[in-house]
Chains A and B, each alone.
Chain A
Amino acid sequence: MKKITTLLAVLFFISAFGQEKKEKAWKKDIHADPLLRAYVFYPLATGNNTLAKAHRENPGIGINMSFVSIYNFHIGAGYHYTQYLVTDRALAGNFRHSNYWGLYPFVSYELPVHKYASIWPEAGLGYAKIKQTYSGERVSNQEGAEFRLSLFADYRFSRYFSIYTGANYIYSKMRIAANPEIRDFYGSLSQLQFCLGFQFEGRPNHPKEDWQDNKTDSNIQNP
């Protein structure tokens, strides 16, 4: 977790401070576009699977960052983590927690709807892992892939800072060898995540500035 956060932060600052020179060489519609989001979420496991039937949800945390924008499509990567509490040990095994995390690249698109607000649809595909633990005495691991669809909205307080909220739908296909009666129960998981977080931007030409009248510089007034 710490390494991933550090890596994302380093990439963010490199792209933020390096963009002035790079942008001159880049095409107009392809440019460095650093944008960092940190959020908390509450998951809701859905469907007939181990997360929904044998666990209780706990709040989770996430971070994602886009580095570059191509025709208003933003390309980035993200990480999210949550700890589910095991409630049915007959089905989930004698563990206290099932820790779910995902690491994924994504593509999002910004739709400005107001001078200070945008809507962002997003799609991603990445790696998922569930680590079950019982106080360090007993552990198990399961890996897989996750497919994500997201929709969220931001509200901009300043040139660099926004709050945002939204939801992610995550479908996870986990590796499993089991009897056909229970294969999908442990292999096909789905969850909704309801998010609230902050967004930090380092973009020189913010698309929402088009909404401002008679503004020629890159500053934007607070609402």
Chain B
Amino acid sequence: MNRYISALLLLGLVSCQDRYDAEKRILLDLHVTDQQGNSLAGKHMEIFADDGSDYYIGGDSDLITYGNTDSNGNIRLVFPVRENYASVYALNFEGDDEFEQTSYTLIKESDCVDYKVPVSALTLLRAEETVTLSIESVPVSNQQLFWLTIEGPHSGNIAYSMPESDFDSNSYYYSDFQVAKNSSILIKYITNLNGALTRHEQTVEIGTEDVQYVLNY
């Protein structure tokens, strides 16, 4: 009897295990600055492996590597590829007394160039340096808005990648973002017309006040 209980416990343990392939490793070289361009030392950066089902870093995410930036604001993080779930990763700064939480989620192995994440710089923002960008999506055609994200200095979670075409079409997206004052923000979105996906981009100039942006699609 004890043998069966042990076997079941072992099976449970193995099924909960996160397995990685150390024969494939992804590199991230990052330079971390504030909005004024000053290098930030001692900032704690993390990489989570995720199954890609969420837009944010959730309970199913596994912390696979972490470290602090050096005196020049640089950090090198290297992590193995996860084997038993979809290979989606998130770069996260969890925030501290001075700077807001910031992350890029949905970084895919296929986004990497020669096993290197194509993100080399991260700007951290103080709370007083951000304004809210609210995007109001207004349909003007038969298309459906499939996905939406932004690119530019921000705090909070944003998706690095647009989803693949077979991505769950019911996935939600954020419409409110904390972005840097006096910055240019690129809105990236995908529309769906009878299963045909089209990618679009629009630039929004941000000043010192909150922005309500109407996105016609």
Residues of A within 8 A of B (CB): 88-94, 130, 132, 136-143, 174-182, 186
When A93-B79, A176-B23, A178-B25 are in contact, do A137 and B66 touch as well, CB less than 8 Å?
A: no
Residues of B within 8 A of A (CB): 13, 16-27, 62-67, 75-80, 114-116
A93 to B65, CA, bound (A): 5
A137 to B63, CA, bound (A): 11
**By the criterion CB–CB under 8 Å, are B22 and A142 in contact?**
yes
Contacting A91 at CB < 8 Å: which of B18, B20, B62, B76? B76
Q: How far is the CB of A44 from chain B (nearest CB, A)?
A: 22
> Residue of A at shortest CB range from B47?
A94
Main SS of chain A's interface residues?
mixed
**By the criterion CB–CB under 8 Å, are A136 and B13 in contact?**
yes
> What are the residues of chain B within 8 A of A143 when measuring CB–CB?
23
When A138-B62, A178-B115 are in contact, do A90 and B78 touch as well, CB less than 8 Å?
A: yes
> What are the residues of chain A within 8 A of B24 when measuring CB–CB?
176-178
> What are the residues of chain A within 8 A of B77 when measuring CB–CB?
90
A88 to B67, CA, bound (A): 8
When A90-B66, A177-B115 are in contact, do A140 and B21 touch as well, CB less than 8 Å?
A: yes
Q: How far is the CB of B61 from chain A (nearest CB, A)?
A: 12
> What are the residues of chain A within 8 A of B115 when measuring CB–CB?
177-179
A58 to B191, CA, bound (A): 56
Q: How far is the CB of B10 from chain A (nearest CB, A)?
A: 10
> What are the residues of chain A within 8 A of B67 when measuring CB–CB?
88-90
Q: How far is the CB of B64 from chain A (nearest CB, A)?
A: 5
A125 to B62, CA, bound (A): 37
> What are the residues of chain A within 8 A of B17 when measuring CB–CB?
136-139
A148 to B217, CA, bound (A): 65
**By the criterion CB–CB under 8 Å, are B27 and A93 in contact?**
no
**By the criterion CB–CB under 8 Å, are B18 and A138 in contact?**
yes
> What are the residues of chain B within 8 A of A181 when measuring CB–CB?
27, 116
Question: A132, A143, A186 — which one has the most chain B CB atoms within 10 A of its CB?
Answer: A186
A94 to B24, CA, bound (A): 15
